Amino acid sequence: MSVDFITNLEKGMEKLHKRGAFLTVKSGEKVNTMTISWGSIGFIWGKPTLTALVRKSRFTHELIENADSFTISIPYGDEMKAALGICGTKSGRDIDKVAEAGIKFVPSNEVSSPVVDGCNMYYECKIVYKQDMDESLLSPEVKERSYAKGDYHTMYYGEIVSCYEK
Ligand SMILES: Cc1cc2nc3c(=O)[nH]c(=O)nc-3n(C[C@H](O)[C@H](O)[C@H](O)COP(=O)(O)O)c2cc1C
């Protein structure tokens, strides 16, 4: 059911940061999904916006750099726990995540990147801005905790063009 982007935001954000969600990207004919737990939803440039952070080492980064959209699929229960584990530790460069994690992609309503079947909250996002992190602007504390090995994130800002709950 199509919902406003703030519907069940508290629940979705709790599941995202405590258990993870799928970030899915299609670029050309390639589709990949990876687990994320960092991200935010808000209102920027007069639009409902979802910001996701992808480190440069990820296969997802390679794809999203040449994509115009991404999707976030958030499971509420534990059914996707194993799939989140596989998609959060193995790379689409090395494995077929559909086969190994048993996930199924289904077409989105508004964007070319698909969503992951069997989840509960979905955000379809059109990329409107991206930003490479600038190491010189980062607090020493965050740098030490999250970037001891470098591998900085790129932040992708997606306008939420479709949002629904199943
Ligand atoms: C719970 C969890 C949350 C994660 N969150 C992020 C994230 O927000 N950003 C990121 O770049 N990687 C994150 N990762 C790591 C990627 O999911 C992982 O490196 C994945 O294998 C990348 O897949 P890919 O190479 O197919 O893109 C997370 C992993 C787990 C298990």
Summarize pLDDT for 95-136 with one digit per residue, the tens.
999 999 999 999 999 999 999 999 999 999 999 999 999 999
User: How far does the centroid of ligand 1 lie from the alpha carbon of residue 87, in Å?
Assistant: 7
Taken in order of first residue, the domains within the chain and their CATH numbers are 9-165 (2.30.110.10)
- pLDDT for 132-166, tens place per residue? 999 999 999 999 999 999 999 999 999 999 999 99
DSSP label at 7?
Answer: T
pLDDT tens-place string over residues 55-80: 999 999 999 999 999 999 999 999 99
SS3 category, 92: coil
| Max Cα-Cα span within the chain | 44
Q: Ligand 1 centroid vs 89 CA: distance in angstroms?
A: 7
Ligand 1-lining residues (CB < 6 angstroms): 20, 32, 34-38, 53-55, 58-60, 88-93
**Atom 11, ligand 1: residue with shortest CA distance:** 54
**What Rg, from alpha-carbon coordinates, does the chain have?**
15
Q: Using DSSP, state whether 156 is helix, strand or coil.
A: strand
Residue whose CA is closest, atom 4 of ligand 1?
A: 36
Q: How many CA atoms lie within 13 A of 40 on its CB side?
A: 4
